[in-house]
Amino acid sequence: MRETITTALKTALKSGDRLRASTLRMVNAAIQDRDIANRGAGKEPAGEDEVLQILTKMVKQRQESAKAFEQGNRPELAAAENAEIAIISEFLPRQMDEAEAKAAIAQAIRDTGAAGPRDMGKVMAELKAKHAGSMDFGKASGWVKDLLT
């Protein structure tokens, strides 16, 4: 994943694509920040799962900013955020649609033997272990709750 991002950054720099280059530099900086934090805690550098978490978080932050800019009647700033989202999203796995997510949730409920709302934590842990980066866990938690009640 790191190599893919670095290669994409080099390509963007060579082609003169400033937006892409600056966005990928931001991504690299966020990954390096996580590496430094991990080193301070005596952990290994960020692995694939952590890089996916970082990218997902960056997309979510930009979605919130774009929404705020649209509500604040600043479409040019919202467009810039959406352009960054498109660049970052290229490095994320394909997101599950609602039907796929609900099928994965039903399977996780069967796998964990969850019987009620108290087992929601077990189901969410199972989903995060199997579907990190490809599922929106904000929406998934609501669906898990609905299926367990």
**Predicted pLDDT at 16:** 94
Mean pLDDT computed over 71-87: 95
Rounded to the nearest 10 degrees, how much is the dihedral formed by the CA atoms of 86, 1, 61, 50? Answer: 160
List helix spans (H) across 41-136: 48-71, 75-89, 98-112, 120-131
Confidence class for position 7, pLDDT limits 50, 70, 90: very high
Nearest-5° angle of CA 58, CA 35, CA 47? 75
What's residue 10's pLDDT?
A: 95
- Residue 31 is classified by DSSP as H
Q: Of the candidates 68, 89, 110, which is a domain's last residue? A: 89
CB-count burial class (<10 Å; 0-12, 13-18, 19+) for 140: buried
Domain region containing 124: 98-148
Residues 82 and 47 in one domain: yes
Separation of alpha carbons 115 and 59, rounded Å: 34
Q: What is the mean pLDDT of residues 24-43?
A: 92
Distances (CA, A) of 136 to 59, 75, 125: 11, 26, 13
What is the total count of domains within the chain?
2
DSSP at 117 = G
CATH of the domain at 138: 1.10.10
For residues 76 and 122, membership in a common domain is answered with no
| Mean local confidence (pLDDT), 74-97 | 92
Claim to verify: residue 17 and residue 61 sit in the same structural domain: yes
Quick: pLDDT tens for 89-144.
999 888 888 888 889 898 988 888 888 888 888 888 888 888 877 887 888 888 88
Whole-prediction pTM: 0.72
